[in-house]
A and B are shown apart, each in its own frame.
Chain A
Amino acid sequence: MATLVLDNGAYTAKIGYNQEKVSVIPNCQFRSKTSRLKTFTANQLDEIKDPSGLFYILPFQKGYLVNWDVQRKVWDHLFGKEMFKVDFADTSVVITEPYFNFTSIQESMNEILFEEYQFQSALRINAGSLSAHHYFHTNPSELCCMVVDTGFSFTHIAPYCRRRKMKESIRRINVGGKLLTNHLKEIISYRQLHVMDETHVINQVKEDVCYVSQHFYKDMEIAQAKGEENTVMRDYVLPDFSSIKKGFCKPREEMVFSGKYKTGEQILRLANERFAVPEMLFHPSDIGIQEMGIPEAIVHSVESLPEEMQPHFYRNVVLTGGNTLFPGFRERLEAELRALVPAHLPVSVMLPANPVCYAWEGGKLLAHNPDYDEMVVMREDYEENGHCICEEKFDI
């Protein structure tokens, strides 16, 4: 029997058998300006030669699965003969869902896994729980950990005490990578070039040039300086998808500080945008979202937990999700936490080698765990007992 692990994110599906490596695949469909009649699914994105003006069709809204038509198209493609060739009758699936997933979505999930695809067995679980499993697996002497998952749709702060998810202390911040990209798109469009239709291109710009500042107001000053003294400023060469397939930053020595470039490429000049955008993870109120930023929310969560446990969480903060890849993210979070947490308590923030796939890797470990068989629901059990057996066994 095989086990398929699927961290079903709103941006990418992290998928692979528990004996194999992980693949990261867009969890959506696309339409392009150049072949309007065709709908591209998941990694068929690679077939689109000119992804300018790329149109996204996403199965998730605010982090919750709402468009099942699209989700099933993506899953049919992933499970099908072109990709994972799933033999459903002989496969167990580990699949992730967001914290506090709605009851109706959970029931639809059961129906689709057991009735439509007919997996032999399934484990539905929060991605953060897989991350916690991963963390405890590699740090067996630790009692608690604080999972910070900052992905596409939102950011969650989720404390775990051994296997137990401390549900009452989970905090959600409504800032994720989607909002950051859209905000960058918006400020670039207002300040220099209309790029509102270029989500795909600007998302790449974000991943290529944005970073988390360690000294916010100091970087603001540098970003305001003229000429060479402005060490924050970057000129980003936009792709034209013919001679320039992928955008990139002009090397410093080729930057023209006054006047125009003689070369004909289209350039975006970025200065405070580089760090003001990821800053929203630390200060959502900068754009009017009245919520705590990540460091404050961690403290808020920890302080709601039993006092004797509190020190354990601060020294076992683990970062997951795509936004933690911004350079400087870990250092800034650790420094801010250090300042907020009582001085006698140690603070330690860990950035795994692959924070995007950390939950998936946890799922893979879990599938090899002797307890795994106890955690799943078998298809026969579902057929006999319906949703209630899933409600009993799964902790979503």
Chain B
Amino acid sequence: METVFLYPTARVEAGQRRVLDEATRQRRLTRQLEALEKDNFQDDPLSSLPPPGPTARLPAFSESEEPEKKKRKTRGDHFKQRFRKNFTTLLEEENLSEKPEPNYLSAAAPPSSLPARHFCCVCGFPSHYTCTTCGGRYCSTKCLCTHRETRCLKWTL
């Protein structure tokens, strides 16, 4: 397959070679995995509107623009607060380390006992080589070149 890059920012100039330490490699992996949990990559179309004029009022995030017809009684601020916590906060508040198992944490599947498999981070085919700089995998000199020109050091923190 011809590899064509239509994504201009994917190319960064290859700078001086340095070697990433284990902690940096781990951080990088964590960031990649976190990105896979994202709901959207782009900005909310609402927030990318041109700046409002003096009288315009933009609805806030996740609020509909139609005027609210309240059928049910509205709750106090305390109630609202409770309903706006993210996953990490809720998980912390559950205080699971002090609670009996089984629970959310104990149910996580343990690591596999099978040997790890390795794939070229450029083309996705099985790989036999490791990039000495970042620990990423590659399958051929062609893919190594692409890797070095693009991602090798790009994702460092």
Interface residues of A (CB under 8 A from B): 29, 31-33, 36-39, 41, 53, 55-58, 61-62, 64, 66-70, 73, 99-100, 102-105, 108, 116, 157, 167-168, 170-174, 178-179, 182-183, 185-187, 189-194, 196-197, 199, 217, 220, 223-224, 233, 269, 271-273, 276, 283-293, 296-297, 300
B125 touches A224 (CB 8 A): yes
* Chain B 90-148 residues near chain A, CB threshold 8 A: 90-91, 93-94, 101-104, 107-114, 116-117, 119, 122-126
* Cα–Cα, bound, A281→B103 (Å): 22
Mask: chain B, 33-49; 1 = CB below 8 Å from A; 0 = not:
10111111110111011
Within the complex, which residue of B36, B65, B82 is in contact with A183, where a contact is CB–CB below 8 Å? B36
Within the complex, which residue of A36, A178, A186, A233 is in contact with B49, where a contact is CB–CB below 8 Å? A36
Within the complex, which residue of A32, A67, A100, A276 is in contact with B107, where a contact is CB–CB below 8 Å? A100
Of the four ranges (under 10, 10 to 19, 20 to 34, 35 or more), the interface on chain B belongs to: 35 or more
Closest to A167 in B: B102
* Cα–Cα, bound, A37→B90 (Å): 31
* Cα–Cα, bound, A189→B6 (Å): 8
Within the complex, which residue of B48, B82, B126 is in contact with A108, where a contact is CB–CB below 8 Å? B82
* Cα–Cα, bound, A116→B112 (Å): 45
B6 / chain A contacts, CB cutoff of 8 Å: 192-194
Across the A-B interface, give the 9 residue pairs with the lowest CB-CB distance, nearest first. A68-B83, A194-B7, A196-B41, A61-B87, A197-B42, A100-B104, A36-B45, A290-B111, A291-B109
Closest to A37 in B: B65
* Cα–Cα, bound, A289→B109 (Å): 11
The answer to whether A292 and B124 touch (CB under 8 A), given A31-B44, A102-B91, A197-B41, is no
A-side interface mostly? mixed
Closest to A56 in B: B39
A173 / chain B contacts, CB cutoff of 8 Å: 109
Interface residues of B (CB under 8 A from A): 1, 3-4, 6-7, 10, 29, 32-33, 35-42, 44-46, 48-49, 59, 62-65, 72, 82-87, 90-91, 93-94, 101-104, 107-114, 116-117, 119, 122-126, 150-151
* Cα–Cα, bound, A191→B151 (Å): 12
Closest to A68 in B: B83
Total CB contacts across the A-B interface at under 8 A: 178
Within the complex, which residue of B45, B101, B117 is in contact with A53, where a contact is CB–CB below 8 Å? B45
B65 / chain A contacts, CB cutoff of 8 Å: 37-39
Within the complex, which residue of A55, A217, A289, A291 is in contact with B44, where a contact is CB–CB below 8 Å? A55
B117 touches A286 (CB 8 A): yes
Closest to B8 in A: A194
A53 / chain B contacts, CB cutoff of 8 Å: 42, 45
How far apart are A202's CB and chain B's nearest CB, in angstroms? 11
Within the complex, which residue of B39, B113, B123 is in contact with A191, where a contact is CB–CB below 8 Å? B123
By CB atoms of chain A within 10 A, which of B6, B41, B93, B114 has the most?
Answer: B41
A-B contact pairs, 13 of them (CB 8 A): A29-B62, A31-B46, A32-B45, A53-B42, A55-B44, A55-B45, A104-B90, A116-B72, A187-B124, A190-B122, A194-B7, A272-B125, A300-B110
